[in-house]
Structure 1
Amino acid sequence: MSPSLSPSAWRSAGARTVPVMFGYLPLGAAFGILAIELGMPWWAALLMSLFIYAGAGQFLAVALLAAGAGLVEVAVATLMLNSRHLFYGLSLIKRFQGAGWRKPYLIFSLTDETYSLLTTQPAAEQRDHGLAFRISALNQLWWVMGTLTGVMIGSALDFDSRGIEFALTALFIVLTLEQARRLRQGLPFVIALLAGVGAILLVPDQHMLLTAIAAASLMLLAHYHHGQRGARDEVPTA
């Protein structure tokens, strides 16, 4: 048996994904219950976790569809919400070189938590594509298992789901705190706060989310461009 397919290899990868499992099982269940409560068929919720696997994007898509949002608005909001993965992917281009048949799945399954696990591996394991594949697959398995549990509970029981939609807010709070701890830069969060409050005060509810995301993105791009221009101006000329 290939070492990468041995039970011990999967147990080793599984041990690393335990923290993610404790988050993905309840969050996946919350998504499954919410999807059922909002009228989505159980199989559609399960297929979303199998073939979309977007975490917060799934909560957002289900909530927007239930609120009567159009497919274009859902697609744009989901794209902007998950645009951070573009930067994740760029930072892992060299890491995934030589991954062979695993590479498409490694790209598809890259979530915030999987990225965190892959980038904190010891240097000796940075090129172990088999380990990266197992970590990614197990993380998705926890999410799918959570979703399956949630749709079973939502379909079989008269479940009082009031407040369960706060799971999405809680997820974003945790992600924001983690990013703040890692980046140690206040400006991006101040910009996000200003954009969000401004959208709440000035924009109709149906366009509030897209406006806030677009405004924050534009302000961050403008700040980045200003910083790059200032750096070029400071370069001494011969």
Structure 2
Amino acid sequence: MDSSLTFRAGIKDVIPTVFGYIGVGLAMGIVANTSHLSVWAVLLMSLIVYAGSAQFIIVSMLLAGSPISAIVLSTFLINSRMILMSMSVAQYFKKESLLQNIGLGSLLTDETFALSMNKLNQTNQQLKTSWLHAANIVAYLVWAAATVVGCLLGNLITDPNQFGLDFAVVGMFIGLLYLQIITDRSKSLPTQLWVVLFVALAMYFLMRWVPGNLALIFATLLGCGFGMVVDHK
């Protein structure tokens, strides 16, 4: 990753993260196939919903015959963390049009958000729409293609977890966190490690009483506050 913010640079920078999309996308397609969803249904879900964990939940809820209202609410809660992520990225595109911001926000994912935060360390805290559009579009297309391929292969693979596909995103985020820590020169290493440890502990305790996705939002907000206190001191 370098300081270039061109469309081509966006494609180049996002390529390492697409392996996570491929792994989880294949697993998603396989699960959808075993739940008797058609290839077209899987493709439309990936293009319209475009949310890995939410799509797994949607498939299971459809299989259980859950009402549409419950599915919609569950999907919103699962992806509510994107509100925080979009707000964080939006500050770098204040001069862009509303249409541009809607386009960027609609395709923003956990992975492209983390990629953007890493990119800021290389560009003097600057981002451009061309770069983020490229990263978002490549991730979007790879995800859709992976879920479709997984659905087509569903009859051949009965247990995707035996290949470790369920760990693909976890491994990718560990790599992104490592890159963030070693490239962010605005904060000292001890400060970053303290924040990481605090958020991990917050998630551990919050998940005892709060659903996972809400726990993630609360842990993020608490981590931001803790980081401000530690950095100020």
**TM-score in terms of structure 2 length:** 0.70
- Compared CA separation, residues 73 and 174, structure 1 to 2 (3 A): farther
Residue type matched to 1:192 in 2? L
Contact 1:34-1:164 within 8 A present in 2 as well: no
CA contact (8 A) 1:102 1:133 kept: no
Query: Which one of 196, 200, 221 corresponds to residue 183 of structure 1?
Result: 196
Q: TM-score, normalised by structure 1?
A: 0.69
Residue 84 (structure 1) aligned with residue 98 (structure 2): no
List runs of 5+ in structure 2 lacking aligned partners: 1-5, 178-191
Cα deviation, residue 111, structure 1: 0.7
2:136 corresponds to 1:115: no
What is the CA distance between 1:115 and its match in structure 2? 0.2
Task: Report what 2:211 is aligned to.
Answer: 212
Whole-angstrom distance in 1 between the partners of 2:161 and 2:69? 26
Match of 1:205 in 2: none
Is 1:23 matched with 2:20?
yes
Question: Quick one: distance in 1 between partners of 2:153 and 2:213?
Answer: 37
Query: Deviations along 1:176-206, whole A, 9 cap, x unmatched?
Result: 97889763214422333422xxxxxxxxxxx
Identity of aligned residues (%): 25
The aligned counterpart of 2:153 is: 153
Q: 1:61 aligns to what?
A: 58
Larger displacement relative to structure 2 (164-173 or 30-39): 164-173
Name the structure 2 match of 1:104.
102
Give distance in 2, aligned partners of 1:162 and 1:147: 15
Q: Using the alignment, how far apart are the partners of 1:126 and 1:145 within structure 2?
A: 31
Instruction: Report SS of the residue matched to 1:95.
Output: helix
- Secondary structure, aligned partner of 2:93: coil
Task: Give the distance between the partners of 1:108 and 1:188, measured in 2 at CA.
Answer: 29
**The residue matched to 1:194 in structure 2 has which SS?**
coil
Indicate conservation of the 8 Å contact 2:14/2:139, yes or no. yes
Query: How far is 1:124 from its partner?
Result: 4.4
Offset from partner CA, 1:194-220 (integer Å, 9 cap, x none): 22xxxxxxxxxxxxxxx73598589x5
Which of 31, 42, 47 in structure 2 is aligned with 1:34?
31
SS of equivalent to 2:91: coil
Q: Provide the aligned C-alpha RMSD in A.
A: 3.6
Per-residue deviation, 1:14: 2.2
How much does 1:104 deviate? 1.6
